[in-house]
Structure 1
Amino acid sequence: MPRQFSYTTRPYAAVDDATGAPIGLDTIDVRVRWLLDLIGAAQSELVSRLWHPATFDALAAGRDGQGRKLPMQGHVAAARLGWHPSYPPGVYVPSRVTRVVTAQAVGTLRALAYRDNAISALSARFDPATGRLAPPTTAGECVPSGFARGVARQLTARSRRTDGAATERLRITDVQGPPQTCVMARLSAADRQLSQITVADGVMVLTVKLPTHEAPTGRAQWRRVRLTAAIPPHLHTRAITDWHLPTLVLDHRGVLLRCAATEQIPTADLSAATTAVGVDWSPATLGAAAIVTERPDGLVSDYRGFTYDDRGLGIKLARLQTEGQYLHRKAARLTRLAATAPPDVRTELEQKIAVLDAHRTAVGVKRGKINRELAFHFGREVTDYAAAAGATVIGVEDLSTLETRGHGRVNNNRAAQSARRKAVDALAHTAAGVGVTVVSVPARGTSALCPGCNDTLSRPGGYHRAWCTRCKVGGNRDHVAGVNLAKRALLGRDRVVRKRGKNPEIRVTEHAPVRQCRDKTSPTPSRPRHRRVRRSVPTATPRAGVNQIRIVPAPRASVWDTVKPATSHGVTGSREVPTSPASATSVAGSMRVT
């Protein structure tokens, strides 16, 4: 079964395609920045020019002026509709770069077409006097509750700006302005005239046409460059059938290649699954899991779950979130003060605001890295747990119907900020490599109902404990919820709904009693053993009058500690020094798969 995945890498060498002369990496960064500036400015101008209801009407209809169906390719659909970007006077841009601009712009507008339709339906049910939405009358008007509350806030803000002027239907262009576009270049939207890729012996060579001037005036100022990058070593043994063109972005370290590839993975037969793992999300930790096995006499479970240990990263995320909120409040307060301050004081306040914004951005980047690490470590732990138990399906709560409310401000905020969506993607990616399928199951009632009799559970030991007086089963609340999720995954494995780009879904909730068995069905989690210490060796007596400094090594709280540092690739000075192509294994130490 083919599956696409993504990874990132960076070029470590660059040469001119025509002359073969080496080019410094700093020069490559500058030329890529010129390309991204042209694409970003043209894309923002095109989206702003098309920000009117007629654009979304054309996208919703899916037809061009001649009644033909719009193709999936964004640049072809833009050409059919007559949408063309504009560039500064005298600047020459190849037609393939224009394809990249229109493809990215049409992709953004198509993503917002759903929001435009929802806002149009919700605005008809909005009451400006009370700020509330009327109940939907048809099934087509139902939207997720979180999305509806966000639209209600937008409609309330517009009602305040317009002094409560009532309108029957609003569009997305009436509620918000044009969105900000990402500065990137999706090379897959063009053909071989702009870029092409070759992979051999763990080395990827990307040939791309880059400008040689900030404002190129002719075709001669666009030259081809060969960028050499290393494939991460953990991809060398995979059954990869196709390598796709990357997306060019720039960060604080230079050019970053966001690549994609297609590999062959083992196909899992859900109808033949007899053991399932249920994953329940928890505000205290990221999640907990439990196992249910189907036998000839029914469903059984030992009700002994597995609780994920985040190694203290959850506390670190909470601290970073508090710090980011503090920086945001302080920057907002200084912004209000700068609005009425004298010019000299306003300049000083604006400098402080810029520093606070930079610190807040750094905190956000750090939170994103920790969330990514947490998600993939969680995916690996749950996958190993399922593989040790012989499970072929993992049931997770459907995040579209899961909303944390009524558990207090701290728990609600902690659950809302957890990287659940990223953890699901990481779990699906990791589990597919060993032939385990991740399915979404309904989340309602998993923590409140008994897996055996489907009655409401009691809480004799507090919120985190659950007990059924009828079946005499219970334990940790999250482990009981994991049993319910695994049961629903097994009972609904024959009625799975599959959608493109999403995990398989089970939408029907069925009940069958899950009895508790004494047989051990779940694997034993590994525990660190204590190291033996000889007590017969006398301890050294410290000398009097000397301060003894004890150096205690810090425990490893991150999987990043196991990553070897990247080599210098033979460059000791500036990145302007032309480098020679090195081997793939010597430069791929710091590469990561996403």
Structure 2
Amino acid sequence: MADAGLTALRQFSFTTRPYLAVDDATGAPIGLDDLDVRVGWMLDLISGAETELISRLWQSATFDVLAAGCDSHGRKLPMHGHVAAARLGWTPHYPDGVYVPSRVTRVVTAQAVGTLRALAYRDTAITALSARFDPATGRIAAPTTAAEYVPPGFARGVVRQLTARSHRTAGAADARLRITDMQAPPQTSAMARLSAADRQLAHMTVTDAVMTLTVTLPTTAAPTARAQWRRVRLTAAIPPHLHRRPISEWHLPTLVLDHRGLLLRCAATEAVPAADLTSGTTAVGVDWSPSTLGVAAVATQTPEGVVSDYRGFTYDDRGLGIKLARLQTEGQLLHRKAARLRRLAAAAPPAVRAQLEEKIAVLDGHRTAVGVKRAKINREMAFHFGCQVADFAAAAGATVIAVEDLTTLETRGHGHVNNNRAAQSARRQAVGALTHTAAGVGVTVVSVPARGSSALCPGCNEALSRPGGYHRAWCVQCKIGGNRDHVAAVNLAKRALLGRGKAVRKRGRNPRIRVIEHAPVRQCRDKMCPTPSRQRHRRVRRSAPAATPQVGVNQTKTVPAPQASVWDTVKPATPQGVTGSREVHTSPTPATSVVGSMRSM
């Protein structure tokens, strides 16, 4: 484990909802419905100005400037988006007669520049791939230099765009294509990132498990003067799991409106134990499995070499994977129905077209609801998986958790349905959840190459045989084998141990090991991996009244079989209720926060 005296700072996010809103100047209470309306007015102004600015800047010259990273005078562009936009002269436009404070304009330009910077990489990749694209065969030539390399999954998406464009243009090939030639300006979400502003627009204080956010909101849909922007003080509860965490800084949230009203997406910085990759000798490998979300195994480096007991820990998704597969199939079916109705409506009479558009709207609503369900289940399963693997690594005394590099991991050879199902699993979200939970116990998550982890023997590095089918692996030379996912996890843990001294660190990403080194992994008879505790579930009791026995008759007592719910765990519910509800919290649980008042980022 890491040294207890060393700490590191990390950021994490959480959500909450305000349960009280008052006018900052007069102290008059504001209804939560009125608050949602006023926040919606500000979000409409921000999203409209952001969409107009991105559409006006959707030119090749914009991406040339962002790729170069310099302004017209050769000076390096600042990191902050609103400062870079001010230097380049990118100013949003608002409707005539509408007054918007300059701090709100900062939010608009920061979000617009962030979107354009994210698309600058795609513009460079499209230019490089279009030069090597053959419209006749629909294929791209191999890259000649390392700078032309593009991840295969990303390249396939660009090839589909290039193929569709060649069909529209009757096979005419252009020497240099840009992102502006391939697609329209992106659609942006209605949100307000307050971190781009200063205290004149918003500031926040946190005391006694209560967060107080003061933000300037319009009083009308089209404000015409400064007086129609007033400060509103919002009060929200900090989630109970953050009450005793060593939070060093609270950051300004992002305002979003959903079906329940105003949602605050907050971020904070806390101190966690610092981990050193080169200090530990035990690693846990996590292999993504098509049947379950992941499998973990332990490998230890000793003076005699790398050893492992080849006994893996298989994650139990509690039936959520089956539910996700069903929802995915349902969403695809709704998408196909809506697409067919759109094709029929294009050539239908006006009366029939109106009826078809109503049906299309219903199908789109159902598909959106299915997507929301899938997102909730994916988040729940990702964090449950992260907690299980982090506890497994901490019990094994590991300091490193090796996961497959998702940029090189591609699902193929399992059929269209299984490939699509595995590709849409929440693996990236699970990696983020695992990184967050593992950092709390001083364990570092590193990315290792995925190629050959399930096909090669950890001992002799030769190809494995499949005597018992796809899920079984056996090495004739080393006489070791078992579940192929467990063997793959041992390979990943070995790669992390051998290459931990050559890990590449980039800001905002997990450390990456790019070179595969081999050393024989000897099978150890001693038990190395801990036995995971079984998750006990609550008993589901039916509310049906018991039958009254007849007098004078001895009846056999029948005890029904206990039924377990995949949603409920043994963790007791918090007495405070659901965090972020619209009920007023009179006496919140006090927190041991490090700071009580924090400024913006």
**Do both share a fold (TM > 0.5)?**
yes
For 1:561 and 1:74, locate their aligned partners in 2 and report how far apart those are by CA, in whole Å. Answer: 46
**1:181 maps to what in 2?**
188
For 2:270 and 2:80, locate their aligned partners in 1 and report how far apart those are by CA, in whole Å. Answer: 23
For 1:569 and 1:159, locate their aligned partners in 2 and report how far apart those are by CA, in whole Å. Answer: 52
| Cα pair distance change 1:553/1:250, threshold 3 Å | farther
Q: Of the candidates 582, 588, 591, which is equivalent to residue 586 of structure 2?
A: 582
Secondary structure at the aligned position of 2:328 is classed as helix
Q: Which amino acid aligns with 1:281?
A: W
Residue 420 of structure 1 pairs with residue 424 of structure 2: no
User: Percent identity, aligned pairs only?
Assistant: 76
Aligned-residue offset at 1:65: 2.0
For 1:551 and 1:352, locate their aligned partners in 2 and report how far apart those are by CA, in whole Å. Answer: 45
For 2:224 and 2:449, locate their aligned partners in 1 and report how far apart those are by CA, in whole Å. Answer: 58
| Cα pair distance change 1:323/1:566, threshold 3 Å | farther
| Cα pair distance change 1:520/1:541, threshold 3 Å | farther
**Which residues of 2 match residues 190-201 of structure 1 at below 5 A?**
190-201=197-208
For 1:347 and 1:49, locate their aligned partners in 2 and report how far apart those are by CA, in whole Å. Answer: 34
**2:331 maps to what in 1?**
324
Q: Of the candidates 554, 559, 564, which is equivalent to residue 555 of structure 1?
A: 564
**1:202 maps to what in 2?**
209
Aligned-residue offset at 1:67: 2.0
Residue 171 of structure 1 pairs with residue 181 of structure 2: no
Aligned-residue offset at 1:409: 2.1
**1:137 maps to what in 2?**
144
**Which residues of 2 match residues 496-511 of structure 1 at below 5 A?**
496-511=503-518
Residue 50 of structure 1 pairs with residue 64 of structure 2: no
For 1:127 and 1:527, locate their aligned partners in 2 and report how far apart those are by CA, in whole Å. Answer: 55
Q: Which amino acid aligns with 2:381?
A: L
Secondary structure at the aligned position of 2:263 is classed as strand
For 2:151 and 2:579, locate their aligned partners in 1 and report how far apart those are by CA, in whole Å. Answer: 50
Q: Deviations over 1:451-485 (max 9, x none)?
A: 11111111111111111111111111000001111
**1:489 maps to what in 2?**
496
Residue 61 of structure 1 pairs with residue 68 of structure 2: yes
Aligned-residue offset at 1:508: 1.2
For 1:117 and 1:441, locate their aligned partners in 2 and report how far apart those are by CA, in whole Å. Answer: 26
Q: Of the candidates 77, 87, 90, which is equivalent to residue 80 of structure 1?
A: 87
| More divergent stretch after superposition (421-430 vs 161-170) | 161-170
Secondary structure at the aligned position of 2:278 is classed as helix
Contact 1:230 1:585 survives alignment (8 Å): no
**2:158 maps to what in 1?**
151
For 1:560 and 1:74, locate their aligned partners in 2 and report how far apart those are by CA, in whole Å. Answer: 44
List gaps (5 residues or longer) in structure 1.
532-539, 588-594
**2:525 maps to what in 1?**
518
**2:292 maps to what in 1?**
285
| Cα pair distance change 1:528/1:72, threshold 3 Å | closer
Q: Which amino acid aligns with 1:582?
A: T
Aligned-residue offset at 1:282: 0.6
Aligned-residue offset at 1:36: 0.2
| Cα pair distance change 1:304/1:570, threshold 3 Å | closer
For 1:75 and 1:541, locate their aligned partners in 2 and report how far apart those are by CA, in whole Å. Answer: 74
Aligned-residue offset at 1:338: 1.1
Aligned-residue offset at 1:583: 3.0
Secondary structure at the aligned position of 2:273 is classed as coil
For 2:396 and 2:454, locate their aligned partners in 1 and report how far apart those are by CA, in whole Å. Answer: 23
Alignment length (residue pairs): 571
For 2:431 and 2:580, locate their aligned partners in 1 and report how far apart those are by CA, in whole Å. Answer: 40
Contact 1:9 1:256 survives alignment (8 Å): yes
**2:302 maps to what in 1?**
295
**1:215 maps to what in 2?**
222
Aligned-residue offset at 1:328: 0.6
| Cα pair distance change 1:285/1:569, threshold 3 Å | closer
For 1:309 and 1:384, locate their aligned partners in 2 and report how far apart those are by CA, in whole Å. Answer: 14
Residue 409 of structure 1 pairs with residue 410 of structure 2: no
Q: Which amino acid aligns with 2:98?
A: V
**Which residues of 2 match residues 454-473 of structure 1 at below 5 A?**
454-473=461-480
**1:592 maps to what in 2?**
none
Secondary structure at the aligned position of 1:215 is classed as coil
**Which residues of 2 match residues 208-287 of structure 1 at below 5 A?**
208-287=215-294
Aligned-residue offset at 1:135: 1.1
For 1:530 and 1:149, locate their aligned partners in 2 and report how far apart those are by CA, in whole Å. Answer: 44
Q: Deviations over 1:189-227 (max 9, x none)?
A: 011000000011111100000000000010000000000
For 1:67 and 1:569, locate their aligned partners in 2 and report how far apart those are by CA, in whole Å. Answer: 50
Contact 2:275 2:399 survives alignment (8 Å): yes
Q: Deviations over 1:69-128 (max 9, x none)?
A: 110111111111111000000000000000000000000000000000010111111111
| Cα pair distance change 1:527/1:222, threshold 3 Å | closer
List gaps (5 residues or longer) in structure 2.
1-7, 539-546, 592-601
Contact 2:107 2:194 survives alignment (8 Å): yes
Contact 1:266 1:432 survives alignment (8 Å): yes
Question: Normalised by the size of structure 2, how large is the TM-score?
Answer: 0.91
**1:108 maps to what in 2?**
115
| More divergent stretch after superposition (154-163 vs 45-54) | 154-163
For 2:590 and 2:208, locate their aligned partners in 1 and report how far apart those are by CA, in whole Å. Answer: 13
Contact 2:243 2:590 survives alignment (8 Å): no
Q: Which amino acid aligns with 2:104?
A: V
For 1:568 and 1:272, locate their aligned partners in 2 and report how far apart those are by CA, in whole Å. Answer: 42
Q: Which amino acid aligns with 1:302?
A: D
Contact 2:16 2:580 survives alignment (8 Å): no
Aligned-residue offset at 1:344: 1.5
Q: Of the candidates 26, 36, 59, which is equivalent to residue 33 of structure 2?
A: 26
| Cα pair distance change 1:496/1:559, threshold 3 Å | farther
| Cα pair distance change 1:468/1:553, threshold 3 Å | closer
For 1:166 and 1:79, locate their aligned partners in 2 and report how far apart those are by CA, in whole Å. Answer: 38
| More divergent stretch after superposition (407-416 vs 332-341) | 407-416
Contact 2:236 2:580 survives alignment (8 Å): no
Contact 1:13 1:581 survives alignment (8 Å): no
Contact 1:288 1:305 survives alignment (8 Å): yes
For 1:81 and 1:467, locate their aligned partners in 2 and report how far apart those are by CA, in whole Å. Answer: 62
Contact 2:285 2:489 survives alignment (8 Å): yes
Contact 1:4 1:262 survives alignment (8 Å): yes
